[in-house]
């Protein structure tokens, strides 16, 4: 028993050392402090984020283009950084989260008192938990409006008023192409002069360069400044000026 606990401790130490090397020691401490704060906060509210995921093969069978991705967690520090660099006031942000999973980003946005949050995901079991988590936030006094829906991202019609998109590598290239086209189409039908996309684990960000309306305004790297972990884009209609 003691040997098992000791090996578990060594594994944890090795994991933490790897993360410190990945981010750099100072950023690692900031990330861990932020993560601990919000994990404690949401645990107190009885929110749950299971570690087990739906079988990806099942989800791919339901997907229009068979290119679903498992939910990829993004640390709270990076998410907040993505929100803050846009310069928008939290109370003015109407957020759409593609691939919301269990609602982590939705709940984080609610804790920051966003104007509205919408989460969509193809995983019905995840959506049920996300809805439950959002209801718990509401019951604890958080006033952000929320909607969660089980739907393929390709079929989702963006509702009026959305000015902020979040996604954490939720799908492959084909679906991303369609989603980006839908976002651009939506943007040009609204009165918005600008909106923002925060893309965590941005493996398909090259697709964003196909649109002259889109400009990258920020990129968050690992400690070695090699791997891009999050990118922030601004959409503007007056892009020629």
Q: What angle do CA 35, 130, 140 make, to 5 degrees?
A: 70
- Tokens representing 3 are 């040997």
Residue 3: what pLDDT? 60
Regarding predicted confidence, which is higher, 230 or 21?
230
Pairing of strands 164-168, 194-200: parallel
Question: Considering only 103-112, 169-178, 217-226, which range has the smallest mean pLDDT?
Answer: 217-226
Confirm if 113 and 90 have CB atoms less than 8 A apart.
Answer: yes
158 by DSSP, 3-state: which? coil
Identify the bridge partners of residue 98 per DSSP, sorted by sequence position.
120, 167
Band of residue 68 on the pLDDT scale cut at 50, 70, 90 = confident
3-state secondary structure of 146: strand
Model pLDDT for residues 79-98, shown as the tens digit of each residue: 999 999 999 999 999 999 99
Q: What is the pLDDT of residue 43?
A: 96
H or E stretch at 120: strand 116-121
Lowest-confidence segment of 56-70, 89-103, 184-198, 215-229 by average pLDDT: 56-70
Reported as a pLDDT band with limits 50, 70 and 90, residue 28 is confident
pLDDT digit string (tens) for 96-155?
A: 999 999 999 999 999 999 999 999 999 999 999 999 999 999 999 999 999 999 999 999
| 3-state DSSP assignment of residue 114 | coil
The CATH architecture assigned to 45-236 reads 3-Layer(aba) Sandwich (3.40)
Position with higher pLDDT, 159 vs 1: 159
Query: Does residue 22 have a pLDDT over 70?
Result: no
Is the model's pLDDT at 24 over the cut of 80? Answer: no
pLDDT-derived band at 21 (thresholds 50, 70, 90) equals low
Please report which helix (H) or strand (E) contains residue 233, including its range.
Answer: strand 228-236
Q: What is the pLDDT of residue 241?
A: 42
Instruction: Give all strands of the β-sheet with 94-98 in edge-to-edge order.
Output: 145-150, 116-121, 94-98, 164-168, 194-200, 228-236, 214-221
Least trusted range by pLDDT, from 92-96, 175-179, 187-191, 237-241: 237-241
């Amino acid at each position: 028993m003691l040997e098992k606990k000791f090996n578990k401790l060594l594994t944890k130490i090795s994991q933490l050392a790897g993360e410190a090397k990945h981010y750099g020691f100072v950023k690692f401490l900031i990330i861990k402090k932020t993560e601990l704060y919000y994990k404690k906060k949401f645990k107190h509210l009885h929110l749950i984020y299971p570690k087990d995921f739906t079988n990806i093969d099942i989800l791919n069978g339901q997907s229009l283009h068979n290119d679903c991705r498992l939910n990829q967690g993004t640390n709270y520090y990076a998410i907040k950084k993505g929100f803050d660099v846009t310069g928008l006031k939290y109370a003015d942000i109407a957020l759409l989260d593609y691939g919301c999973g269990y609602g982590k980003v939705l709940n984080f946005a609610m804790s920051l008192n966003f104007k509205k949050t919408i989460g969509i995901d193809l995983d019905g079991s995840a959506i049920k938990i996300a809805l439950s988590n959002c209801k718990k936030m509401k019951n604890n006094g958080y006033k952000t409006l929320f909607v969660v829906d089980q739907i393929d991202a390709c079929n989702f019609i963006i509702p009026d008023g959305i000015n902020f998109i979040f996604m954490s590598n939720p799908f492959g290239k084909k679906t991303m192409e369609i989603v980006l086209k839908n976002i651009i189409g939506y943007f040009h039908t609204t009165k918005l002069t600008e909106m923002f996309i925060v893309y965590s684990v941005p493996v398909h960000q090259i697709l964003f360069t196909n649109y002259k309306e889109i400009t990258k305004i920020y990129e968050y790297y690992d400690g070695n400044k090699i791997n891009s972990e999050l990118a922030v884009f601004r959409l503007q209609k007056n892009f020629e000026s």
